[in-house]
Chains A and B, each alone.
Chain A
Amino acid sequence: MSGSQQATDTDRYAGRRVKRVEDARLLTGRGTFVDDVVRPGMLHVNFVRSPIARARITGIDISEALALDGVYAVLTAADINPYVHEQWFSLEGRHAPDTPRPPLAEGEVRHVGDPVAMIIAQDRYVAEDAAELVIVDYDPLPPVVDYATAFDSSELVHEAYPGNLVGQIGGRPMADLAPTFDNAPHVVSETYHQQAYCAMPMETRGIVTEWSPSDGTMTIWTATQSPHEVRGFCARLLAIPEHSVRVVMRDTGGGFGQKVLPLREDMCLMIAATKVPAPLKWIEDRQEHLLAAGQARHEHGEARMAFDDDGRILAATIDHVQDAGAYPSPNPVGSGIAVGLIFPGPYRIPEGTFNSRFAFSNTSGRVAYRGPWQFESVARECLLDVAARQIGIDPVELRRKNMLRRDELPTANCNGMPYSDITPLETFEQALEILDYDAFRREQEQARAAGRYIGVGTCTYVEPTAGASALYGTEGATIRVEPSGKVNVYVAGGSCGNSLETTVIQLTADALGVDIADVSSIQGDTAVTPFGGGTGGSRSGPMTAGAVNQTATELRGRILALAAHLLGGVPVDEVEFTRGVASVKGSPEKQVTLAEIADTAYFKSGSLPAELSVGLEVSGRFRAQHLMLWANATHVCTCEVDIVTGEVKLLRYIVSEDCGPMINPNVVEGQIFGGTVQGIGGALYEELAYDDAGNPVTTTFMDYLLPTAAEVPTIELGHVETPSIGPGGYKGVGEGGAIGAPPAVINAVADALAPFGVRISRLPLTPATIVNLLEEAAQRGAAGAAAAAGAARTAVAG
């Protein structure tokens, strides 16, 4: 029995490095992205955007633009905004408290890049010519640029929000923890400031909307992570039936959270399509993307930990403030709570609490970005390294002392997060072993003696995946064995490079027992696929596996029943069915293929007993059984810092991760590589920066610096595969890389510079920033030495 089970396991496609089925079309330039969609008579949209951070609009003159050859319409808020019927996201629900989000700026512009008018023209060139001819009169108002001081500003981004406070949320009062902190042998605190940076998908945002007035239907092609979210949103926006909207996405060139929700420009295209007799296309260019596709990561927080004499953590708190920008999508409070909830991370922390506040500012609105709560890891892991230096203990030893062990699970952290099936210590030890930590410390000592500064940093985190929120709590699949025996599996889709097509085909081939070459997948078209939440929240692996397994189990039952009949009426439990061939156990010579079974199911229904179902198509819907599935990982990074130029060169980068059994290691590793590079970008390169007047200063890739292959070392991987309590034991893996990388890099830099007494509290770590830190530390050192000398003199004099 166990022998045959093993044979089945090695036959499974799940767990294998199956080549991506997407690659043939993507690598030969045959993908279909939004800009590849061309419709008859299609017109092109370009937005007139505010050049000022905050101003009252006192007049808009569109006459010159409208007179330009090739311009069909110029629409302003008065033409668009009144047609918003309902505006809310399925992800959040109808009754969730929401923040303002008008399609076009009305009365007041609230950030540079705020869309003020939309040009509809024969092509994008003319549309951009016309945008220069729209004359907008602005009466500038003092902007609230720095969210960190927004609560104290007398200026308001939105009238309805006193103190620019979007909202706040927290745990037990900080004061409750005072006795613990007051009596602790060691208390460590630091306030970390993280810069704004954001998702930078290779394919920017984009949408084509085509309204058919004769039957009142809308067809939308868009770059999205969730076609069904877009469909429902559009139906509510326009007050048309949901089945009158069809959303199609084939390939989306990167989402990273930014494309989870339709944004303001999407609303404009949806509404405008019903006003003009032509399909409309808007493709965001990179400059627009950097101005208006949203920002993330912009937050700061005071992290505090209390330790006993042995370095055991007694308590941990974080007081956190996040920038919402002018028009966040969605309201950031609901997801922002995760920063505080997960702040304790993979450590044994008896008590703690958190507080998060969210501030409006006159900058681009906050949107989701891969691991939106990632600041918890930055604050915690960087503070732990500070603590290690302060207490005088190796940072690895400090973590070993405090990290949760398998035998302590399941458990809940001090803020109530229920952990299970995680292996933080295992990934930690595995990553350190890959590095050879002790050897690195020896090398570091020798390097320092030679005037070279190398350092090592780690980050261990736990991550909730496949969260069972209202939209994300179920996932559907339809599997159809076609009359020829070929298989199509339909899932909602939303793949943005995360290889959902390949994964689904592997899962389906395994669950049905057919050859993978016989399975194809149809995704991303709301007209034909089951309703589903799309890509988000690191949910696709587990939730799709649940949907496919549940559906395939029922379909396989039907296949077996038909096979039993065709094999001469043997009992169903005597039928074996693998790789699309059924046979009777013990008599392999007698076989019937899936093609023959399907042929019977569709074309020979008359020959079948009444109790057997005809056709071979099943739809199923999986319901998440758990609130979330926990994944975890450790990132370890080593670097060398040039103390003259401040340049950081990453030497080695190691990730050990546990996302449960891997459906396809290539896909898992691709997710880790991509996320890690984004995290490295956040630590060292990327910044969506504004000057004091609220002007964005990083509006091209000359200034918004993404790490390239030249800046990133080979990422070495280790895997620990601990099954979750979810379907197949799978866990999500989409977001973690972007969470774990920044703290590992920051800690490595801090470690390299430890001999200088440098303390890092502001990101990113640009070369100039590092030089400043070194100079400040030198001044402190000099001042400290002078003070010590002064004290010595006083002592002598005394």
Chain B
Amino acid sequence: MKPATFEYHAPTSAEEAVGLLADLDDAKALAGGQSLVPMLALRLAVFENLVDLRRVDELRGIETRDGSVWIGAGTTQATIGRSESIGLNVPLLARATPLIGHLQIRSRGTIGGSIAHADASAEYPAVALALDVELDALSPRGRRTIPAAEFFTGTWSTELEEDELLTGITFPVWQGRAGFAVEEFARRHGDFAMAGACVAVGVGADGRIDRCAISLFGLGPCARRATEVETELIGTSPADSDADEIGRTAMAGLDSVPTDLHGSASYRKRVGAAMVARAWRRALQEAVGD
């Protein structure tokens, strides 16, 4: 369990980092290393060049902007977990954070690393998808902003080019009566989820659901939205919603649900339905509550 030889680079600016990623052969960005380093140690991944982002200060920070919160991609999960501003303005992100691994892992793991790695079972990609975040990317060709809905493209794959770096994530702040919940089922505390769901729901002045996002993780090649159920729920009365039915509907038609030692696809869907239902109940209660 020792990695193969690699060249180590430690740029101090994002421009420099993407320059290295573009110029070097077989280069990979290293953020918190909580996924990449074990893969290197097991030689499941081998790269000639690693571009460490730890010295790139501009990638870190949490800024409250007009109607949104910007988080630098290099901000650690532990920092996010401690942030009062995030607890207040992006409750779903705050609630998902303690579910990531353990404190030691969160102290190194970054939000950008988690989203760019795009593990199917990870919490942050699902949060990003549910909240329709905007992802800032930088490459030698310039900056662009990618909507979350277009970012995740498959198993461990994203819209990012090989020489493109995720630099920041902009989370919209939901106004009005809203509720947020994340539920996941993992074999042990801190394990990757076998199935999980994020729910964000808003209730309008007329008392009807006017915003609704349900994202799923651990239930496909990457995080995904339960778009059909969301559409059905808009305009309905919270009192009429049947959480168990919503859970079942969210699972209907899901393809490519993984099967492994810990559970079959059908088991995951059973648990996924329960996670959606539980998250829905909690989020809705918060939205309609006092």
Residues of A within 8 A of B (CB): 124-125, 128-129, 132, 285-287, 644-647, 685, 687, 689, 697-698, 700, 702-703, 705, 707-708, 710-711, 766-768, 771
Verify if B261 is at the interface (C-beta below 8 Å from A). yes
Q: Is the CB of A710 within 8 A of B188?
A: yes
In the assembly, what is the distance between CA of A748 and CA of B3, in Å? 44
Verify if B252 is at the interface (C-beta below 8 Å from A). no
Of chain A, the residue at the smallest CB distance from B191 is: A705
Residues of A within 8 A of B274 (CB): 644-645
Choice from A124, A125, A768 contacting B262 with Cβ under 8 Å:
A768
Q: Is the CB of B188 within 8 A of A705?
A: yes
Choice from A287, A687, A705, A711 contacting B42 with Cβ under 8 Å:
A287
In the assembly, what is the distance between CA of A120 and CA of B2, in Å? 15
Verify if B185 is at the interface (C-beta below 8 Å from A). yes
Q: Is the CB of B270 within 8 A of A771?
A: yes
Verify if B287 is at the interface (C-beta below 8 Å from A). no
In the assembly, what is the distance between CA of A685 and CA of B189, in Å? 12
In the assembly, what is the distance between CA of A700 and CA of B44, in Å? 12
Residues of B within 8 A of A771 (CB): 267, 270
CB 8 Å contact bits of B1-36 with A (1 = contact, 0 = none) = 111110000000000000000000000000000000
Q: Which residue of B3, B185, B187 has the most chain A CB atoms within 10 A of its CB atom?
A: B187
In the assembly, what is the distance between CA of A125 and CA of B6, in Å? 12
Of chain B, the residue at the smallest CB distance from A687 is: B261
Query: What are 23 sample pairs from A and B whose C-beta atoms fall under 8 A apart?
Result: A124-B2, A128-B43, A129-B4, A645-B185, A645-B270, A645-B271, A645-B274, A685-B187, A702-B192, A708-B188, A708-B189, A708-B190, A710-B189, A710-B190, A711-B188, A711-B189, A766-B187, A767-B187, A767-B262, A767-B263, A768-B264, A768-B267, A771-B270
Give the 4 A-B residue pairs with the shortest CB-CB distance, closest first.
A710-B189, A768-B263, A285-B1, A644-B274
Main secondary structure of the interface of A (DSSP, over half): loop
Q: A689-B261, A766-B262 are in contact. Are A129 and B190 (CB under 8 A)?
A: no
In the assembly, what is the distance between CA of A285 and CA of B43, in Å? 13
Of chain B, the residue at the smallest CB distance from A44 is: B2
Choice from B1, B185, B189 contacting A287 with Cβ under 8 Å:
B1
Q: Is the CB of A698 within 8 A of B1?
A: no
B247 CB to nearest A CB, Å: 10
Residues of A within 8 A of B270 (CB): 644-645, 771
Of chain A, the residue at the smallest CB distance from B187 is: A705
In the assembly, what is the distance between CA of A366 and CA of B4, in Å? 32
Q: A644-B271, A768-B262, A771-B270 are in contact. Are A700 and B188 (CB under 8 A)?
A: no
In the assembly, what is the distance between CA of A266 and CA of B191, in Å? 34
In the assembly, what is the distance between CA of A269 and CA of B260, in Å? 37
In the assembly, what is the distance between CA of A285 and CA of B1, in Å? 6
Main secondary structure of the interface of B (DSSP, over half): loop
A426 CB to nearest B CB, Å: 35
CB 8 Å contact bits of B256-290 with A (1 = contact, 0 = none) = 00000111100100110010000000000000000
In the assembly, what is the distance between CA of A690 and CA of B202, in Å? 48
Choice from B1, B43, B261, B271 contacting A703 with Cβ under 8 Å:
B261
Of chain A, the residue at the smallest CB distance from B192 is: A702
In the assembly, what is the distance between CA of A687 and CA of B261, in Å? 10
Residues of B within 8 A of A125 (CB): 2-3, 5
Of chain B, the residue at the smallest CB distance from A127 is: B2
Of chain B, the residue at the smallest CB distance from A125 is: B2
Q: Is the CB of A128 within 8 A of B262?
A: no
A509 CB to nearest B CB, Å: 40
In the assembly, what is the distance between CA of A344 and CA of B121, in Å? 46
Residues of B within 8 A of A700 (CB): 38, 42
Given contacts A128-B2, A700-B38, A708-B189, 14 further A-B contacts (CB under 8 A): A124-B2, A125-B5, A129-B4, A132-B43, A687-B261, A698-B261, A703-B261, A705-B187, A707-B188, A708-B190, A710-B189, A711-B188, A766-B187, A767-B271
Q: Which residues of B64-104 are within 8 A (CB) of A?
A: none
Of chain B, the residue at the smallest CB distance from A772 is: B267
Choice from B42, B188, B194 contacting A685 with Cβ under 8 Å:
B188
B175 CB to nearest A CB, Å: 34
CB 8 Å contact bits of B178-196 with A (1 = contact, 0 = none) = 0000000101111110100
In the assembly, what is the distance between CA of A645 and CA of B188, in Å? 13
In the assembly, what is the distance between CA of A697 and CA of B2, in Å? 20
Residues of B within 8 A of A287 (CB): 1, 42
B270 CB to nearest A CB, Å: 7
In the assembly, what is the distance between CA of A687 and CA of B260, in Å? 13
Of chain A, the residue at the smallest CB distance from B275 is: A645
Residues of A within 8 A of B191 (CB): 702, 705
In the assembly, what is the distance between CA of A700 and CA of B3, in Å? 16
In the assembly, what is the distance between CA of A698 and CA of B261, in Å? 9
B197 CB to nearest A CB, Å: 13
In the assembly, what is the distance between CA of A700 and CA of B191, in Å? 13
In the assembly, what is the distance between CA of A647 and CA of B186, in Å? 9
A512 CB to nearest B CB, Å: 46
B76 CB to nearest A CB, Å: 21
In the assembly, what is the distance between CA of A695 and CA of B3, in Å? 23
In the assembly, what is the distance between CA of A689 and CA of B262, in Å? 11
In the assembly, what is the distance between CA of A128 and CA of B3, in Å? 8
In the assembly, what is the distance between CA of A285 and CA of B3, in Å? 13
B8 CB to nearest A CB, Å: 14
In the assembly, what is the distance between CA of A124 and CA of B43, in Å? 14
Residues of A within 8 A of B262 (CB): 703, 766-768
Residues of B within 8 A of A711 (CB): 188-189
B257 CB to nearest A CB, Å: 13
In the assembly, what is the distance between CA of A125 and CA of B194, in Å? 34
Q: Which residue of A645, A646, A771 has the most chain B CB atoms within 10 A of its CB atom?
A: A645
Of chain B, the residue at the smallest CB distance from A285 is: B1
Residues of A within 8 A of B194 (CB): 767
Residues of B within 8 A of A705 (CB): 187-188, 191
In the assembly, what is the distance between CA of A501 and CA of B250, in Å? 59
CB 8 Å contact bits of B220-231 with A (1 = contact, 0 = none) = 000000000000
In the assembly, what is the distance between CA of A125 and CA of B40, in Å? 12
In the assembly, what is the distance between CA of A156 and CA of B264, in Å? 33
Residues of A within 8 A of B263 (CB): 766-768
A618 CB to nearest B CB, Å: 48
B277 CB to nearest A CB, Å: 9
B261 CB to nearest A CB, Å: 5
In the assembly, what is the distance between CA of A771 and CA of B187, in Å? 14
B172 CB to nearest A CB, Å: 32
Of chain A, the residue at the smallest CB distance from B44 is: A700
B81 CB to nearest A CB, Å: 17
